[in-house]
Amino acid sequence: MLFMVEMDVNIPLGFDADEAARLKAAEKARFQELQAAGTWRHIWRVVGRYANVSIFDVADNAALHDLLTTLPLFPFMTMRVTALCRHPSSAHDDDR
């Protein structure tokens, strides 16, 4: 199943800078792992915000929830999830 996930990151002011840097590096590594596996199919930065719009390809809602909770920055994120399905006019065969 495909899901669009809008993620806003809000690390509190005064949060330890070294710990924030460590979490950001861990987040990038986890993203790259999921991208290589084909699970995190797309990511776009939202201009002017510490936010992104991403497309995930997972088995179901529970799998997406389990995956999202593994993200190192998860405690600092507000997310909006939208389930997607292939549009009949799509020219791409891999839109499932």
Show me where the domains of the chain are located.
2-82
Residues 42, 55 contacting (CB under 8 angstroms) = yes
Q: What is the CATH number of domain 2-82?
A: 3.30.70.1060
**What pLDDT score was predicted for residue 86?**
81
pTM listed for this prediction:
0.90
pLDDT in tens, the chain (96 residues): 999 999 999 999 999 999 999 999 999 999 999 999 999 999 999 999 999 999 999 999 999 999 999 999 999 999 999 999 888 888 877 666
Strand positions, DSSP E, the chain: 2-9, 40-45, 51-57, 77-84
Please report the pLDDT score of residue 96 as a whole number: 62
Name beta bridge partners: 79. Answer: 7
